[in-house]
Amino acid sequence: MNKNKDFKWGVTISAAQTEGAYKKDGKGISIWDTFTQKKHKIKDRSDARVATDFYHRYKKDIDLAVNIGLQIFRFSISWPRILPDGSGKVNPKGIEFYNKVIDYCLQSGIEPWVTTYHWDLPQKLQDKGGWCNREIIDWYTTYVTILRDNYAHKVKKWILINEGVVCIGGGYFLGVHAPGKRGIDNFISGVHHILLAQAEGFKVLKQIKGLEVGTALSCTKIEPYRNTNADKKAVNRIDALMNRLFIEPHLGMGYPVDDLPILKRIAKYYKEEDLETLKTNFDFWGIQTYTKQVVKSAWYIPYLRVIQVKPEKRGVETSVMGWETYPEGTQYFLERFSKYNPEKPLWLSECGIALSHNEDDQKRIDYYKKVIDLTQNAISKGVDVKGILLWTLVDNFEWAEGYLPKFGIISLDRNTLQRQMKKSAIWLKKYLEE
Ligand code: NOJ
């Protein structure tokens, strides 16, 4: 890749996957703290009570990121650390912790980016319905106002909701993520409320001049199993769900109901003014893509009438996540999103590959080299790509997969909590120095 000095490299982490200290200094319980206690829900029966202990080791991790040559440190704020009950009383120790993280970034010369919500809802709010309760728009707006008032003078780049479709899809439709709810109505109301909340959060942050505020989108290329009309329509349904649902309503395009008629049920939760409220002129969009899915039409599956043809069934190798590795999605989505109106600057706000503990880290280097080339292809076609944030720095708690997938460029000894640079970290450091 031609080194352009304006092109930036950074790393993304999230609170629930790294911080640990799950009850320390006044933090409230999150839905993930609760969910991980149902041991059968997590593949290795682990939890994130300690995780990578970022809470106590943030300086070490920021030092590592700086040493590798990264310029951006994107982390998320734990809502229940700031507001243990979700609303009401603010926890001063929580405010202080993120001040320390931000200040250490600034003094180390790495730019802090804040994600306001990376899936760790306060349990107290879930007890009132969580994202299915429309009141959450106010709860979230108040929370974002507190973040703005405490940090916006120091943090210039903000991401509101991280991968809303995975958060609501996994947590409220499939039940595989916290809070483990299922059902189409939970999903549809959750989607509508989180999008409205994000739109209101945007307005709160944009009251401060000079902030750049975006969203981070999960993107998965969807392909048909057979070359039939039925399968192509199935692709359109899943594509609308996974790749359009979290951007088009913000662009004033409404929900993609034509391709995904089940979304008509949103009417039940819809107020007249919502279409207008949803419109959000983000300063940038974050693209996060890891895999692709091949699907076929299946009349017997409720609501979506689609099933995924798993990679194993197609004779395709998978990563420890069970995903087909698909770096090509990078170029595909960068080009695709650049065609929306208005065109926005794009970031790869996460990007990486999961390996198991015994796989050669060279695979990660090869993966990143491909991503670099594919990003370069998109840039040469005129797409405005600003930079790449790696997922992730240190191997961490990968949600329902526990600690089995290793996404980090730095390994973690879970007994001693020592970190060690992997081959890929050393390679990246060299690449960034050249
Ligand atoms: C997306 C999510 O934002 C992050 O939390 C997760 O660990 C990675 N992708 C890998 O699955």
Of 353, 241, 369, 233, the C-alpha closest to 290 is 353
Question: pLDDT value at position 2?
Answer: 54
Q: Which residues pair with 421 in a beta bridge?
A: 410
Q: How far is CA 116 from CA 70, 229, 304, 337, 381, in A?
A: 21, 41, 31, 23, 32
Question: pLDDT value at position 1?
Answer: 59
Catalytic residue among 19, 163, 324, 398: 163
Q: How far apart are the first and last CA of the chain?
A: 12
| Ligand 1 pocket test, candidate residues 18, 113, 350, 406, most atoms within 8 A of CB | 350
- What is the identity of the amino acid at 327? P
Residues, the chain: 434
Of 409, 189, 198, the C-alpha closest to 285 is 198
CA 13–ligand 1 middle distance (angstroms): 9
Active site residue 317: no
Sign of CA dihedral 422, 117, 175, 21: positive
What atom in ligand 1 is closest to the CA of residue 218?
A: 1
Distance in angstroms (rounded) separating the CA atoms of residues 85 and 88 = 7
CA 72–ligand 1 middle distance (angstroms): 18
CA 137–ligand 1 middle distance (angstroms): 24
Contact (Cβ atoms closer than 8 angstroms) between residue 334 and residue 385: yes
Tokens of 117: 């919500």
What atom in ligand 1 is closest to the CA of residue 401?
A: 11
The torsion angles phi and psi of 424, rounded to 5 degrees, stand at -65, -35
**Closest Cα to atom 7 of ligand 1:** 398
The torsion angles phi and psi of 83, rounded to 5 degrees, stand at -130, 90
Q: Which residues pair with 306 in a beta bridge?
A: 297
Tokens of 428: 């990246």
CA 392–ligand 1 middle distance (angstroms): 9
Q: Which residues pair with 169 in a beta bridge?
A: none
Distance in angstroms (rounded) separating the CA atoms of residues 65 and 5 = 18
Question: pLDDT value at position 420?
Answer: 98
**Closest Cα to atom 11 of ligand 1:** 398
* Residue 30: DSSP 8-state: B
Question: pLDDT value at position 15?
Answer: 99
DSSP 307-368: EE--GGGGT----TTSPPB-TTHHHHHHHHHTTSSS---EEEEE----B-TTS-THHHHHHH
CA 338–ligand 1 middle distance (angstroms): 23
Distance in angstroms (rounded) separating the CA atoms of residues 175 and 127 = 16
Distance in angstroms (rounded) separating the CA atoms of residues 96 and 90 = 11
Contact (Cβ atoms closer than 8 angstroms) between residue 249 and residue 315: no
CA 298–ligand 1 middle distance (angstroms): 28
Tokens of 347: 């970031």
Count helices and strands in the chain by DSSP H and E runs:
14, 11
pLDDT in tens, the chain (434 residues): 556 789 999 999 999 999 999 999 999 999 999 999 998 999 999 999 999 999 999 999 999 999 999 999 999 999 999 999 999 999 999 999 999 999 999 999 999 999 999 999 999 999 999 999 999 999 999 999 999 999 999 999 999 999 999 999 999 999 999 999 999 999 999 999 999 999 999 999 999 999 999 999 999 999 999 999 999 999 999 999 999 999 999 999 999 999 999 999 999 999 999 999 999 999 999 999 999 999 999 999 999 999 999 999 999 999 999 999 999 999 999 999 999 999 999 999 999 999 999 999 999 999 999 999 999 999 999 999 999 999 999 999 999 999 999 999 999 999 999 999 999 999 999 999 99
Query: Is residue 166 helix, strand or coil?
Result: helix
Protein residues whose CB sits closer than 6 Å to any atom of ligand 1: 14, 17, 162-163, 288, 350, 391, 398, 407
Q: What is the dihedral of CA 301, 181, 120, 162, to 10 degrees?
A: 20
Question: pLDDT value at position 314?
Answer: 98
Active site residue 350: yes
In the block, residue with structure tokens 């947590």: 171
- What is the identity of the amino acid at 299? W
Of 379, 350, 369, the C-alpha closest to 286 is 350
Q: Which residues pair with 8 in a beta bridge?
A: 387
Catalytic residue among 19, 200, 350, 398: 350
In the block, residue with structure tokens 């017997």: 300
Tokens of 6: 């304006």
Question: pLDDT value at position 5?
Answer: 81
Contacts of 403 (CB under 8 A, 6+ apart): 44, 46, 395, 396, 397, 414
In the block, residue with structure tokens 């929580």: 94
| Ligand 1 pocket test, candidate residues 161, 166, 347, most atoms within 8 A of CB | 166
